[in-house]
Structure 1
Amino acid sequence: MTQQEWLARDFYAALGVPSTASAEEIKKAYRTLARELHPDANPHNTQVVERFKAVSEAYAVLSDPAKRKDYDRTRRLFRSGASARTGFPPEAGTTTTARAGSGGFEFGDLFGSRSPFTVGDPLGGLGDVLGDLFRRAGTRAASARPRRGSDVETETRMSFREAVAGMVLPLRVSGPMVCTSCHGSGSRPGTRQRTCPHCHGVGIEDRARTISVDVPPGVGDGQRVRIPAQGEPGLAGAPSGDLYVTVRVDPDPVFARSGDDLTVTVPVSFAELALGTVLSVPTLDGQVSVKIPPGAQSGRTIRLRGRGVAHRGTAVGDLLVTVEVAVPPELDHEAAEALRVYARAEESSGFDPRAGWAGRR
């Protein structure tokens, strides 16, 4: 491709994005098109292969901030008047008052000894800009300068008890990876110049893979786990980005969590609190017995040391057991009569449950 042909290409149009698109929008558009146009999904379709190459070329320039800046600047310079003086076709909607001869030429002629531009030319040193751009840009991602791959984020969901205990989680992810044929070089193995037939010189291909994520004990809802070097691959041998997995934890029907402490509410009867009792309370690894002293109040919390959430290298939290009176919705005749007898005895003893409350004496 000549330099003139290179500049005449609209890389934004190739990706289907406006020239004001953000880096994230450009990456998203490339991913979508790369999956849709990948030769593996369109065997024997030469038109799709050519478009895949064009999309890859466009992404190689627009994904690099320095190359994109030079590309945009050069296009603006030519729109401002270079088309009338070089024989380039103007963009749609542009009117020119003069046009050079119809014969084609290379940029080497334009900025060589026959160039009409001088050091003080109104295009602001366009020759230097283009020379630097062509030296650095290339047309494929594999020829780009080394650049670390982007970090990738995903989510996974697990039960409350899995999150507390920790686990090794198999995670299925898909996205750009280093080409398995050319190992990211973009060239056919054993050659320097021949384009890799598998990724068509991009050095990257989309594929799915399963990785093992070591979720540490005690991970909380919304917490992120970092897996180094499992993000998008770097360009030209640069390291890959990282993968960040956000953990979503389902609530548990029995336990709740407060930091490293577990909390559980145990329903009890009035008689159990008044007379005292021994309760069987669930923990993460079985049942334990908890003694409730006579006269304990509803809402009292008893702390069981070392029965909470464990973190790597830190102390284990506690289990906080809260007792709460459960009132029967209905009473049969015998129970109701017995309760009335108790209420009269309670009143005779002078007990007032609201004594001292709201200023009462």
Structure 2
Amino acid sequence: MARDYYDVLGVNRDADADELQRAFRMLARRHHPDISKAPDAEDRFKEINEAYQVLSDPETRRRYDRFGPDFRKIPEGYEGAARPRDGGPSREDGEWTFETGGVDIGDLFGDLFGGRAGSGRRPSWTDAAGADREAELTLTVEEAYRGGRRTISLRGPGGVRSYDVTIPAGVVDGQRIRLAGQGAAGRGQGAAGDLYLVVRIEPDPRFRLDGRDVIVDLPIAPWEGALGAEVPVDSPGGRPRVTVPPGSSSGRRLRLRGQGMPNAGGRPGDLYAVVKVMVPRDPAPRERDLFEELAKVSTFDPRRESAAWHSR
């Protein structure tokens, strides 16, 4: 006999939709075959999924509450007339039996499903949707930016399988890509579950992601920061040019609107170039002379300027 679905999820019979969902998510994570090492993890996961599918649908839950584990054996047209013996379904010789105003359920099922009337044959309605599966899909920042197609191989209960995946341009870390019908096989005539690929974007020394915004360092020379310049900047989509205003010091953020990660469903992210003033590590003799001349004539005090800036 199948376990009571409320017991499977560990909830009371009056649990509301939120309680059911919380219980399902907690148990699904704990018993997922890709996470749990228990030998019965896959069967347990399917049981949890089946219980949630039944109880999360109000109409199916009502039928389950009324007729018990064999609620699927009661045709839609007969449930209103069903009269359980003793006010509810009863078990006789291991079978659940009902009376329907003189109509024998066994005969009824025989007529409906090709069995002989009175033969006592019961249909084996064990259809259940297959469990959803989840795996990680690791991408570089450029791959996430461009999107495209990729073939991946995943190991599952049936061995290694290959999947063709369409990656939307501008996917972000944690986003899920759904491959319909590519999860675990259903039971009986039940539909297969879905496969969800969770995007994980690899760290990149050039790019930092903040949602759809992309942050990059912009190295410039001291004279470019002092006088202003137009320079190229690295981005996942190429090397656009950015205008550095005169008087730009390290840490200044220059914004390029819409140059961040694409977004098919809305506004794209922005690209932020963070100014980083660089000096020659080993200046040539002439460069050293010019820096020394600048040091003699300049009245600029970066420490005083920095203190004034922080006091604003």
TM-score normalized by the length of structure 2: 0.57
Could you list the per-position Cα deviations for residues 111-148 of structure 1 after superposition, in whole angstroms to 9, with x for gaps in the alignment?
Answer: xxxxxxxxxxxxxxxx9486149x9xxxxxx9561112
Q: Is the 8 A contact 2:135 2:197 kept in 1?
A: yes
Contact 1:144 1:235 in 2 (8 A): no
Distance in 2 between residues matched to 1:291 and 1:62, nearest whole Å: 56
Q: 1:326 to 1:358 in 2, by over 3 A?
A: closer
Residue 303 of structure 2 aligns with an amino acid whose one-letter code is: R
> In structure 2, how many angstroms separate the alpha carbons of the residues matched to 1:260 and 1:272?
29
The answer to whether structure 1 residue 305 and structure 2 residue 265 are counterparts is: no
- Aligned residue in 2 for 1:220: 172
Change over 3 Å in CA distance of 1:154–1:359 after alignment to 2: closer
In structure 2, the CA distance between the partners of 1:232 and 1:129, relative to structure 1 (3 Å rule), is farther
Amino acid at match of 1:353: P
Confirm or deny: 8 A CA contact 2:172 2:212 kept in the other structure: no
> Which residue number corresponds to residue 76 of structure 2?
none
Shift of 1:324: 0.9
Given that 1:222 and 1:246 are in contact with CA atoms closer than 8 Å, whether structure 2 keeps it comes out as yes
Superposition deviation, residue 30 in structure 1:
5.6
Aligned ranges 1:216-255 → 2 under 5 Å: 216-255=168-207
Please tell me whether the aligned partners of residues 143 and 236 of structure 1 are also in contact (alpha carbons under 8 angstroms): no
1:330 is matched with which residue? 282
The residue aligned with 1:156 is 137
**Structure possessing the higher radius of gyration over alpha carbons:** 1
Residue 342 (1) aligns with residue 291 (2): no
The answer to whether the 8 Å contact 2:32/2:45 transfers is: no
Residues 63 and 264 of structure 1: is their aligned pair in 2 closer, same or farther, counting only changes over 3 Å?
Answer: closer
CA deviations on 1:141-184 (whole Å, 9 max, x unpaired) are x95611121111122222211112222222223445xxxxxxxx
Pair 230,28 (structure 1): closer, same or farther in 2 beyond 3 Å: farther
| Structure 1 residue aligned with 2:94 | 131
The aligned counterpart of 2:228 is 276
Give the C-alpha shift of residue 237 in structure 1. Answer: 0.5
> After superposition, where does 1:1-361 map in structure 2 within 5 Å?
29=39, 128=91, 131-132=94-95, 145-176=126-157, 206-347=158-299, 351-355=300-304
303-312 vs 322-331, which moves further: 322-331
Structure 1 residues 340 and 130 mapped into 2: Cα distance closer, same or farther (>3 Å)?
Answer: farther
Query: How far is 1:62 from its partner?
Result: 11
Structure 1: how far apart are the matches of 2:125 and 2:159? 22
Paired with 1:266 and 1:216, the residues of 2 have a C-alpha distance of 28
Q: Does the C-alpha gap of structure 1 residues 304 and 338 become closer, same or farther in structure 2, counting only changes over 3 Å?
A: same
| 1:161 aligned partner, one-letter code | E
**Per-residue CA distance 1:23-53 (angstroms, 9 max, x = gap):** 6689952689xxxxxxxxxxxxxxxxxxxxx
Equivalent pairs, count? 213
Structure 1 gap ranges (5+): 1-21, 33-58, 66-126, 136-141, 177-205
User: Aligned equivalents of 1:145 and 1:24: distance in 2?
Assistant: 21
Task: From the superposition, tell whether residues 215 and 353 of structure 1 become closer, same or farther in structure 2 (CA, over 3 Å).
Answer: same
TM-score by length of 1: 0.50
- Secondary structure of the residue aligned to 1:163 is helix
| TM-aligned CA deviation for residue 254 of structure 1 | 2.5
Give me the CA root mean square deviation.
Answer: 3.6
**CA-CA distance at 1:267 after TM superposition:** 0.8
Q: Which amino acid aligns with 1:215?
A: I
The Cα of 1:239 is off from its aligned counterpart by 1.5
Change (3 A) 1:301 1:31: closer
- Give the Cα separation in 1 of the matches to 2:142 and 2:152: 19
The residue type equivalent to 1:131 in the other structure is G
What's the CA shift for 1:277? Answer: 1.7
CA drift at 1:334: 3.8
Q: Identify which of structures 1 and 2 has the higher relative contact order when contacts are C-alpha pairs closer than 8 Å and 6+ apart.
A: 1
Q: Distance in 2 between matches of 1:27 and 1:343?
A: 68
Q: Contact 2:167–2:177 (CA<8 Å) still a contact in 1? A: yes
CA displacement at 1:345 relative to structure 2:
0.6
1:321 Cα deviation (Å)?
1.6
Structure-1 residue corresponding to 2:57: none
